[in-house]
Structure 1
Amino acid sequence: MIPEVMIVGVYHLGDTSDLINVERKNDIDLELEAKEVVDALSRFNPTKLAVEADREVQSKLNESYRKYLLNDPTPMKNEIETIGFPLAKESGISEVSCIDWRGDDNEIATIGDIFQYAKEYEPERYKKIMTTYMEPMQREAEEWSKLPILEGYKRVNEAETVKKMHQFYMEFAMIGKEKDYYAMDWLTWWYKRNLILYTNVRRLISTPQDRVLLLIGGGHVHLIKQFLEESGVCTVVDANKYLN
């Protein structure tokens, strides 16, 4: 037997600094539609749940999870509370694992700074990035907002969507001229973050029977899947086997 990891790419249900935002649903629709996702994912029978939250908030988040288990929940702010907590409870998981790292992102040019640079100094590349990636992805996100969460998450995890999200970063790397690799510090941070996410997921694997479910923003799926598959230590399960 070999451990299994299922990477579930999501669009965030709460506040986010992501480039692409999906309009938040009202609380009643959110609760009903989240239950559909929980019912679908619980069929994976996860033994551990990993979420996109900084490791520094592990104790605080699990305090909220314990309150949830005692029917004393805090307000549902995002997919961790809305989907992760019910899924962990349904699966008999005692603790939710925070695996994210943001590190020194305040010491480098922001993604907004890099877009502004491209707009001013490389207008053709900026136009290409916007028309090929950003604008279509935002239109897609607007479609997701009209769908039940389950249907939207199916779209996020489609192979073509995952590929397109990653191709954006590959084009983003080209901003800069000659010896000026303007986007490279940010992309180095981005790859480091995903390598740390991968490492923290691997650290959750302790037995051949482990079935780790990771809830993560869709833009991370390509790299974490690549790193896990290349490690050879686990089987990576397609989320849409369960979301469909």
Structure 2
Amino acid sequence: MKPQILIVGSTHFHEMFHDKEPSDSFLESLQTLRGSLSSFQPTDICIEIEEKNQDKINQSYQRYDKDRFYKYESYDLGFYLGKKNDIKSIRAVDWMENDQNHNGISDAVEWAEKNDSEFMKKLTELQNFHSQLGAEENIYDAALKLNHPENYKRDHELYGHMMLLGDSWDSSIHWLTWWYKRNMIMVNNITRNLDSDSRVIMIVGAGHIYILKQLLEASGKFDVLTFYDWEESR
């Protein structure tokens, strides 16, 4: 028996609601999403917050009010599921330090704007797709779409294309190296101290779905599924 890890790719609630409050229909669909995830019966919850902030997360988790909407998926999904399933603490597993020579994604995009219209078309289409889902009133349906293989593979294809950009590797490889390092550190943190019967839910931005799934499956030590897989199997 292997530990099970459920990846839940999500929109970022603080971006959706930075200038407004959620509608009743959104909150109703949030309860549907929470109910589905709770039926997984998790033993561990991991969230996309830097590991160095674990002490603050512990304090916030103790103060968490399930009747409040925090506009933050780590709280509104992660904390809620933790309390619902009597989980003692929520694990912060992200890493966001800047490595030397990490020059961001802007150099690659600036080069592509002048030299690779195909990449820019893919980037624009993907940005529009995520913007549309960011305005979705039904967060349960949005989560299903984000975690569908056809959609999360588009994210990964964009990173693969980015690797080819630039007059030299210096334009894109620094950022991609940082991106892969970040996700590998997350995998190391997610999988630490698991038992054979552990059931982990990872709440994370949708852009991480493919790479986390790929890295987690690479060892052969875990059963890995996405939210879409979970709903299909129920």
Give matches, 1:129-148, under 5 Å.
129-131=119-121, 133-144=122-133, 145-148=135-138
Give matches, 1:1-244, under 5 Å.
1-15=1-15, 26-29=21-24, 30-68=26-64, 76-105=70-99, 107-119=101-113, 123-125=114-116, 127-131=117-121, 133-144=122-133, 145-177=135-167, 179-205=168-194, 207-243=195-231
1:43 Cα deviation (Å)? 0.8
Aligned to 1:18: none
Contact in 1 for aligned 2:32/2:140 (Cα 8 Å): yes
- The one-letter code of the counterpart of 1:219 is G
Which structure 2 segments of 5+ residues have no match? none
Q: Distance in 2 between matches of 1:163 and 1:116?
A: 24
1:243 Cα deviation (Å)? 4.2
CA-to-aligned-CA distance 1:87-126 (integer Å, 9 cap, x gap): 111111110100000122575211123312333xxx231x
Identity %: 29
Query: Structure 1 residue runs of 4+, over 6 Å off?
Result: none
Q: Distance in 1 between matches of 2:213 and 2:67?
A: 36
Contact in 2 for aligned 1:62/1:95 (Cα 8 Å): yes
Contact in 1 for aligned 2:112/2:120 (Cα 8 Å): no
TM-score (norm 1): 0.85
Q: Distance in 1 between matches of 2:17 and 2:128?
A: 12
| Greater alpha carbon shift after TM alignment, 45-54 vs 214-223 | 214-223
CA-to-aligned-CA distance 1:42-81 (integer Å, 9 cap, x gap): 1110000000000111111121111116x796x7131011
Contact in 2 for aligned 1:33/1:150 (Cα 8 Å): yes
Q: Secondary structure at the match of 2:87?
A: coil
| Greater alpha carbon shift after TM alignment, 105-114 vs 137-146 | 105-114
- The one-letter code of the counterpart of 2:64 is Y
TM-score (norm 2): 0.89
Q: Distance in 2 between matches of 1:86 and 1:106?
A: 37
Q: Secondary structure at the match of 1:7?
A: strand
Q: Distance in 1 between matches of 2:44 and 2:74?
A: 14
Cα RMSD over matched residues? 2.2
Closer, same or farther in 2 for the Cα pair 1:64/1:219, shift >3 Å?
same
Q: Distance in 1 between matches of 2:169 and 2:63?
A: 51
1:150 Cα deviation (Å)? 0.6
- The one-letter code of the counterpart of 1:88 is G
Contact in 2 for aligned 1:35/1:83 (Cα 8 Å): no
The count of corresponding residues between Structure 1 and Structure 2 is 229
1:141 Cα deviation (Å)? 2.2
Q: Distance in 2 between matches of 1:165 and 1:196?
A: 20
Aligned to 1:19: none
